[in-house]
Every structure is written in C-alpha cells, then in structure tokens.
Chains A and B, each alone.
Chain A
C-alpha cells in the first residue's frame, strides 16, 4: 500500500537554476499540498491543489509554481533559485483537502542551492 511518494529525495542546484519536484499522492486522494520546511522551523504552506485546480497559495513569490495532473500527481517548480530556497520540500495528500480527512506527508525532497 504505497504512501505519498516524492522524487527526487535529494538534489543540489546552483543559484539561478530551475528545479522541478514531483509528488504522487496516495491512491484515491484527490488533493495535493506543498510545504517548505527550513531548518529549525515548522513546514510552511506553499500551494494546495484539488481536482487539478489551485485551491490555495501561501506567501511565496511568483518564482514558485505548481500544477496537478489528471492522475492527481503534482509538480512543484521553482525558478531563479536563491540560496534561501534551500529546504526540505514536503508534499501532503488528502482525500478532499480538508483537515478532517487527514493529511499524509511524503518523506520530502531535500533541495540544496549552492
């Protein structure tokens, strides 16, 4: 029974580059959310998608974008990388994108920008 899968697990990028992170939700889950966790802080909300439509956006610059595909998987794109984008990027899936249905997190993608 597969949980939330994220790829890649680790990557290193140079300032100014672009990166794409991927997430596959739990089978049957229609909502995917993205969070950024910087060392020493709690995860911060970036985006939420439900049924391929953006349902919410956190306080992140336009360099961050995302989309959800017909199979409910999702990609997070970050352009013009800055050193401060170095973080653990977490994907969470849920049945309908509401807390009462629960959110299940993947193990994350560790992005290092040098």
Chain B
C-alpha cells in the first residue's frame, strides 16, 4: 500500500522554463511534507518542506504547494537550470519519512 505516490517517473523541461513535480498521498495524518533531491551515489539532499497547516512555502526558485482536500502537493522550480537535473523525491512525515518513488528531472540547456 503506497501512501505516497509520484506518478511521473520522468520529466524533461527546457532551461529557463518552469518544472512542476507532483506528489499524491493517502494518509491524512501526515503533518509535514518534504522534497528531496538526489544525485547518483549521494544521499538525498533536503530542498524545501511544508507543514500540513500551510498551503504554500517558497524558498528562492523553489515553491511547494499543498492541497489538503485533494491530498496533493507539488514542487515548482522557476526558472529551471541544468544543475537541477536529478531525481526528486517527495516525502511525508508523522515522525519517520515515507517516500514516493521519485521523478527524474532532466533540464535541457
């Protein structure tokens, strides 16, 4: 039973455009949501998080939106840069993290 789902295994965007990564969850008890970025042979690197009591959090080029009624969150990257190319994981937390399966983002120069 996958409680956190990332239905798009890959996404390709042009440099300078917006990247939108999506994530759905089923457990309404999650109280925090996080996005991590992962390069091969490295551990996940924290990007941005949002509390379940908020609907938007912004940090530079990264914005996370939370729609609790739809149990959906998204990560917007504007503008996208080639260095953003990596696998992005959505994670949800009550205490431990439950991860989605990841979306591979490719930003084309």
Contact = CB atoms under 8 A, between A and B. Distances in A.
Given A99-B32, A104-B46, A107-B42, A43 B96 contact: no
A105 B47 CA distance: 12
A80 to B, nearest CB: 25
Interface stretch (B12-20, B62-70, B73-81, B99-107): B99-107
Nearest to B96: A45
Contacts of B11: none
Contacts of B99: 35, 42-44
A1 B41 CA distance: 21
A43 to B, nearest CB: 5
A107 B43 contact: yes
Contacts of B34: 99, 103
B43 A4 contact: yes
Contacts of B97: 33, 35, 43, 45, 92, 99, 103
B96 A105 contact: no
A28 interface: no
Contacts of A103: 34, 46, 97
Interface in B22-51: 31-32, 34, 36, 41-46, 49, 51
A108 interface: yes
A41 to B, nearest CB: 5
A97 interface: yes
Nearest to A97: B95
A40 B101 CA distance: 7
28 contacts: A33-B96, A35-B97, A40-B101, A41-B102, A42-B4, A42-B89, A42-B102, A43-B44, A44-B99, A45-B97, A45-B98, A48-B95, A55-B95, A56-B95, A90-B43, A90-B44, A92-B97, A99-B31, A99-B32, A99-B34, A99-B93, A102-B46, A102-B49, A103-B46, A105-B44, A105-B45, A107-B43, A108-B43
Interface of B: 4, 6, 31-32, 34, 36, 41-46, 49, 51, 89, 91, 93, 95-102
